[in-house]
Amino acid sequence: MSSTTRRGFLGSAAVAAGGGGAVLGAPRRAAARDGAVPQSVAVLGGGVAGLTAAHELAERGFRVTVHERKALGGKARSMDVPDSGTGGRAPLPGEHGFRFIPGIYHNLPDTMRRIPFPGNPHGVHDNLVAPKEMLFARSGGREDIRVPVPWPGETPAELTPDEIRRALTAFLDTAFRLPPHEALYFANRVLVLLTSCDERRDEIWERTPWWEFVRAGRMSYDYQRILAVGITRNIVATKAEEASTRTVGTLLEAFLFNALGRGADGPVDRILNAPTNEAWIDPWVTYLKSLGVGFEVGWTVLDLPLEAGRIAGAVMEDRAGTRRTVTADHYICAMPVEHARRTWNPAVRAADPQLAECDLLQTDWMTGIQFYLTESTPIVHGHLNLIDSPWSLTAIAQARHWPGHDFPADFGDGTVVDCLSVDVSEWDRPGILYGRTAKQCTRAEVAREVWAQLKASLNDTGRTVLKDSALHSWFLDPAVDGLGTPAPTNDEQLLVHPTGTFHHRPRSATRIPNLFLAGDYVAVPIDLATMEGANTSARQAVNALLEQVGSTAGRCTVTPLYRAPEFELLKRHDRTRHRLGLPNLFDLG
C-alpha cells in the first residue's frame, strides 16, 4: 500500500472519525425525543441497509445495536482468501461480486461522503474511481465492442493503433449485422419508455417482460444478445425473458441521462480503489463505533414475538446453538428478504398483510468468482460483458484500478499481480466444457468452466489475453455450497425483478408500530435490488421511525432518480391516453 497500511488503517480512521461529523457535514446529534432518554433500536442485519440505518439513527441520538449473523457489509463486503497471504502480505482479496456504484446513485454517495477516511476531504466517496471504458466481448472470432465511458474532466483511455483498428472493426461488424430497421425499432421503444406516464409504467410495463417489450423473439441474434440480454445483465442483473419492462426501462432512462451528464452524482461507471472493506466497510464500522453503535456478529434472528400489537423482542441463536432474546424500543429488520420472511411468524404476518406479500418476491443466483493471475493481461480498463457466454459473465480486472496497492507486494505470496473478478449470472444453463449447468458442476468444474468461457470470448481474435500458465488460483464465494449434488444452495442470493413483483414490495413502515423494514426488496424509487436501494430503504425506515416517536430530529433525505423536465408534458399527455385505454403516442406496436 502507499501511505496507509492495512494494519494501521483502523487506528487512523478512528482518529478521523472523532471530528467526522463537523468535517463532513453530518447532521447534529439530536435526542430521539427532546428531553428524553435516548430510545434503543435493534437493527437486525449488518449489510448496507443495516449499516445505513445505524448511521442515520446514531447521528440523531438513538442507542443502536446492529445484530449480524455472518459478516458486516453483507453481500457488499470483501473477504480474505484463507491461508493465501505469506511473508507479511495480506491474504488475496475475495468478494461476493465486484462493486459497481454508478452516477445514477445519489443516496448511497451521500452516505459515503459522511464516512471519514484519512486524507480524504469527502470521506470514502473519494475512494471511488471511474473506469475509462467498457467492453462487450464477442466469441466465435468476432471483434469485441469497445465503448468509451467519457466524463467531463476525465482523461480518456489511450488506445494503440491496433486497438483503434479492432474497435472500428467491432463497430462495423455489429452495425452491418444489426439490420437498420431493428436499430430504429429499438430507438422507438426507448422513446416510448421516456414518454410513458407513471400509471402506464406501473400497470402495463410492470407486467410486460423486457424481452416481449423490445420484440426480441422476432429479431436477429445480435439484437437479442446486445439490446435484450446484454442490457438486462448490465443494468439489472436479471433475465430479459422475465424482467419487468418497468424496472429495466426506469434504469435505462437513468443511465441514458447519466451518460449525458444530466442529474448524476458522477460518471456512469464507478468502482472502489481498493478492496471493499478497506475502502469503505471498515471505515464505516469504525465511524459508527465512534458514534456509540454496538455490533454483535454471529447471531441469527429466528423469530420476532408479538405482544400487545408490538414486537416484544428478537429471538436469536449464535453459531454454538445458544439462544437469547434481544429487546429494544424499536426494531429495524434489515435482513435480505429470503432471511427476513422466515422471522415473520403468523401473528406478525396477520398484523401487517404486506409482509405476506413478500413471499411472492423471488431471488436468484448471481455469484462471484475471482481468478488470481501471475501476469498482467491486456484487458480493457473497465468492465467486461461477455455477451455470448452461456453463463452470462461480467468481469473486471482490479489491480489497475487500485493505485494505492502494489498487488504482489501487498497480497498473497508475492507472485500474483492481478485479480480478475467475475460475476456468474446464469446458473441454470449448460456450459461449454461439461454440458452441465453451473449448479450441476463441482466448485472446481465451475472454475474451469468460467475460465473456458472467458477464453472463448477474449482469446478468439488473434490475441492471447488469458494464459493458462498465468492462472495462479481461484476463489469462489463460500456462500455457494453443495455444487454438483442434487441440492446445491446459495446463502446469499439476489432479489430479481420478474414481471408483477413491484406490487409485492413492502413499504418501510409497517402496521406494527415498532417494526420497520430496510433492504433492497423494499419499495424505493430506484426499483432495483442494489446498494442504492438498500441505502434508500434504510433512510425511509429511519424517517418512519422518527415520525412514529415524534422526534424533532431532521429527516433523512431521499433523492429519487432524475426525471428530465422536457419529457413531463409528453408524460402528462400519455396519462390522458392511458386513462382512455389508448397506447402511447409513439408506440408502433
Judge whether 9 lies within some domain: no
Round to whole Å and give the CA distance between 85 and 275: 15
| Residue at 86 is within a domain | no
Bridge-based pairing of strands 330-333 and 93-95 is unpaired
Residue span of the structural domain in which 218 resides:
159-260+575-579
Q: What is the DSSP letter of 426?
A: -
Inside any domain, residue 224: yes
Residue 11 pLDDT greater than 50, yes or no: no
How far apart (Å, rounded) are the C-alpha atoms in residues 60 and 33? Answer: 10
Residues 360-389 have a mean pLDDT of 91
Q: What is the mean pLDDT of residues 273-295?
A: 98
- Residue 99: name the closest of 221, 277, 220 by CA: 277
Structural domain includes residue 225: yes
DSSP 3-state assignment of 491? coil
Give the containing element (helix H, strand E) for 400. Answer: none
**Edge-to-edge, what's the strand order for the sheet holding 393-397?**
145-148, 133-137, 383-386, 393-397, 418-424, 367-373, 471-476
Report how many domains make up the chain.
1
Residue 235: inside a domain:
yes
| CA quadruple 327, 331, 334, 339: dihedral sign | positive
Task: Check pLDDT > 70 for residue 10.
Answer: no
- The whole-number pLDDT of residue 232 equals 78
Q: What span, in angstroms and rounded, lies between the C-alpha atoms of 446 and 426?
A: 12
In a domain, 315, yes or no: no
pLDDT of 48 reads 98
Task: Report the percentage of the chain scoring pLDDT > 90.
Answer: 71
* More reliable by pLDDT, 458 or 18: 458
Whether 26 is covered by a domain: the verdict is no
Does 157 have pLDDT greater than 60? no
Domain-located, residue 227: yes
CA-to-CA distance for 318 and 306, rounded, in angstroms?
22
- Does the pLDDT at position 22 exceed 60? no
CA torsion through residues 511, 515, 516, 521, sign: negative
Encode 98-161 in three state secondary structure. CCCCCCCCCHHHHHHHCCCECCECCHHHHHEECCCEEEEECCCCCCCEEEECCCCCCCCCCCCH
Which 3-state string (H, E, C) describes 218-249? HCCHHHHHHHHHHHHHHHCCCCCCCEEHHHHH
pLDDT at 262: 86
In this structure, of 99-108, 156-165, 364-373, 487-496, the range with the lowest mean pLDDT score is: 156-165
